[in-house]
Amino acid sequence: MTLTSLPPQLSRILISEEAIQQRVRELAQQISNDYASVERLYLVGVLRGAFIFLADLARHLTIPHVVDFIAVSSYGKSAASGAVRLLMDLREPVENQHVLLVEDIVDSGQTLDYLLHTLHGRRPASLHTCVLVQKKRDSLPVPVNYLGFEIPDVWVVGYGLDYADTFRTLPYIAELKPEVYQ
C-alpha cells in the first residue's frame, strides 16, 4: 500500500491489513482455547462497525459458535457523549449462553458499558468482550477481555470503522485528518 493511494482525507495508516489479519488470527486462537470446553459460543457483533471484524474473527474460530447482532445508536461523529439507545435486538434469548460481545472500538466505553449491563440482565452463562481497538486512556472505562490494539486518541476509519458512514471497507485502519472532523 503506497501513500499515494491513501484517500486525501486520511493522514496515515495506523494498523496495516497484515497486522490486523495476524492479530485477528491470534485473538481467534486465544478465544478458541479459552472456550474449548463450552458447548457453543454465542458471538454478538455490535452493528454496524463490528461486522467486518466479526466476520474475520468467526471464520478463524475452531470451536462451535453462532453469530448474532445487536445495534445501538451512535452518538455522532466526534466525542460528544449522549445516551446509548438500542436500535435492534438479538434474535434469541441469551440466558445460559456463553456470550462474547464483539465490538470494533472502545472510546469512552459508554457503548460497551450499556451493552454489558443490558446483556448481563438476561442471565447469560458467561459474558465477555472482544474489542479490536481501544483508544489509550488513563483508566480503563470498561472490562475488555480480548483486545486487538491500543491506539492514540484520534479518529480512525477502515476495517468496519467509519466517518459519517464512509471508509468502512478499507482493509487497514487509518487516521482521519483532524481538519475533516473538527
Interaction pattern, residues 33-72, with Mg ion; x per rule: CB under 5 A:
----------------x-----------------------
Whether residue 65 contacts residue 43, with contact meaning beta carbons closer than 8 Å, is answered with yes
Q: Which of 56, 68, 89, 107 is catalytic?
A: 107
Sheet of 156-157, strands arranged across: 10-15, 173-176, 156-157
Using rule CB under 5 A, residue 148 touches Mg ion? no
Among 43, 70, 116, 156, binds ligand IMP (CB under 6 A): 156
CB of 14 to Mg ion, least distance (A): 17
Residues 16-75 that bind ligand IMP (CB under 6 A): 49, 74
CA–CA separation, 119 vs 89, rounded Å?
A: 10
Out of Mg ion, ligand IMP, none, what residue 107 binds, judged by CB under 5 to 8 A for its kind, is ligand IMP
Among 110, 122, 147, 149, binds ligand IMP (CB under 6 A): 110
Contacts with Mg ion: how many residues (CB under 5 A)? 2
Out of Mg ion, ligand IMP, none, what residue 56 binds, judged by CB under 5 to 8 A for its kind, is none
Print the SS3 string covering 30-45. Answer: HHHHHCCCCCCEEEEE
CA-closest candidate to residue 94, choices 118, 119, 64, 115: 119
89 is catalytic: no
CA-closest candidate to residue 67, choices 37, 96, 106, 94: 94
Q: Which is closer to Mg ion, CB of 56 or CB of 104?
A: 104
**Residues identified as active-site:** 107
Q: Using CB under 6 A as the criterion, which residues of the chain lie in contact with ligand IMP when the complex forms?
A: 49, 74, 103-112, 155-157, 161-162
